[in-house]
Amino acid sequence: MANAKDFYQVLGVSSTATADEIKKQYRRLAKQHHPDANQNDPKAAERFKEISEAHNVLGDADKRKEYDDMRRLGAFGGMSGFGGARSSSRPGASGTARPGQPGAGTFNDFDVGGIGGLGDLFSSMFGGAAGAGRQRARGPERGQSVEQTVEVPFRVAAVGGKVPVDIEVNEECATCHGNGAAPGAQLRPCGECSGRGVISFGQGSFAVNRPCPVCSGRGSVPTERCPTCRGTGDTRVSRKVLISVPSGAETGAKVRLRGQGGKGAAGGQAGDLVITFTVTPDRFYKRDGLDLIATVPINIAQATLGSRISVKTLDDKKVAIRIPAGTSAGKRFKITGQGIEKDGKKGDLLVEVTITVPESLTEAQEKAMREFAEAGGMKF
């Protein structure tokens, strides 16, 4: 275990790297070291296996969290990392026992201070001391969830509606129906995994079982690869999906579409499509909780003498508002119940007036303005 490779070092990323950074680095390395692109390099396949294994753990949020917990405890720098864990009083709980000796335990026997769930990850990653050479057939695997950010117009987010979204997902190749073989080609047991669909690699008594990167876990390879998918069994396709936007949606809100993400492997369920909304600004409305704020300009005469103006609501209805004489800039007028509706509650529409000053006046307008000012005691 002391010689086990650090997955972050394998991918060449920091332990604080984001999910997107890990994904981009994995794609770059996988393309660089794929056996098909390095047929004259015998080390490329092994490097490709290491990259795939690292991404299998770090590319999954739950597995990464558990891996980071083990890494923090020193599990990848020798078993000394468990020295500070609480010891159990039961026989055989000591971390010094060796596999095959009386009292030796599996990783499930270690008490690591309430971290929880680490025994399962150890067992799945390393197979336990007694299971180092054991290979397990690949079972159904759930497809990868696809996350995407979508811009939503302000008014659609306010009242609700639908927006079209273009997504890219993996789907079963229509030419080979997922087996990776060209039409008429035969399938033969994979030489890399001996037809098991999984490979085992690690150090000493510890082994990591993962889907074989050569046959993609199928256990067989075709005599001639499918020309459409190049033997992968799936293709990248673009799909248009209509996303329902609930009324009152805000930037950062998410919706999850079950089964609309990447396809599952070995008969597994498809992943989900997770949409994060980004609400674009509106030229007229602003939002304050469930209230809408609309800024409406009026001129000096309207503010001084009073007036009536009309304002459009979200549903394009016109509502008349009386502006009283002597209204100052920044004054707000409430239109009850014409705001945003969400969870059974509805806000108001707040109309805020600004006073505009003309840039130029006609001779008659200037004379009238001077007379008005002089009547108030102002001299020019």
Question: Would you put residue 206 in left (φ > 0), alpha (ψ -120 to 50) or beta?
Answer: beta
> Which residues fall in the annotated binding site?
173, 176, 190, 193, 212, 215, 226, 229
Tokens read off for 24: 């981009």
pLDDT band for position 171 (cuts 50, 70, 90) = confident
Query: Domain 7-131: what homologous superfamily?
Result: DnaJ domain (1.10.287.110)
pLDDT digits (tens, 9 = 90+) for 57-95: 888 888 888 888 777 765 554 433 333 333 333 333 334
Mean of the pLDDT values across residues 321-326? 95
Which among 309, 285, 310 has a CA at the least distance from the CA of 295?
285
Q: Which of residues 205 and 24 earns the better pLDDT score?
A: 24
DSSP state, 35?
G
Cα gap 210→56, rounded to integer Å: 9
CB 107 within 8 A of CB 118: yes
Q: What b/e string do you get for 291-329 counting C-beta neighbours within 10 Å, with b at 16 or more? A: bbbbeeebeeebbeeebebebebbeeeeeebebeeebee
Whether 235 shows a pLDDT value over 80: the answer reads yes
pLDDT band for position 201 (cuts 50, 70, 90) = low
pTM value is 0.54
List the chain domain ranges.
7-131, 146-279, 285-375
> Which residues fall in the annotated binding site for Zn(2+)?
173, 176, 190, 193, 212, 215, 226, 229
What is the model's pLDDT at position 107?
Answer: 37
Which CATH number applies to 285-375? 2.60.260.20
Whether 173 shows a pLDDT value over 80: the answer reads yes
Contacts of 51 (CB under 8 A, 6+ apart): 10, 11, 26, 29, 30, 33
What is the model's pLDDT at position 377?
Answer: 64
pLDDT band for position 157 (cuts 50, 70, 90) = very high
∠ CA 214-220-224, nearest 5°, is 80
Which CATH number applies to 146-279? 2.10.230.10
Q: Which of residues 139 and 246 earns the better pLDDT score?
A: 246
Cα gap 140→137, rounded to integer Å: 10
pLDDT digits (tens, 9 = 90+) for 125-144: 443 333 333 344 445 778 77
Mean of the pLDDT values across residues 179-198? 90
Whether 370 shows a pLDDT value over 60: the answer reads yes
What is the model's pLDDT at position 200?
Answer: 74
Query: Strands, E, within the chain: which ranges?
Result: 146-152, 161-172, 187-189, 198-201, 208-211, 220-222, 234-245, 254-257, 273-279, 285-288, 291-299, 307-312, 318-323, 332-335, 341-342, 345-346, 349-356
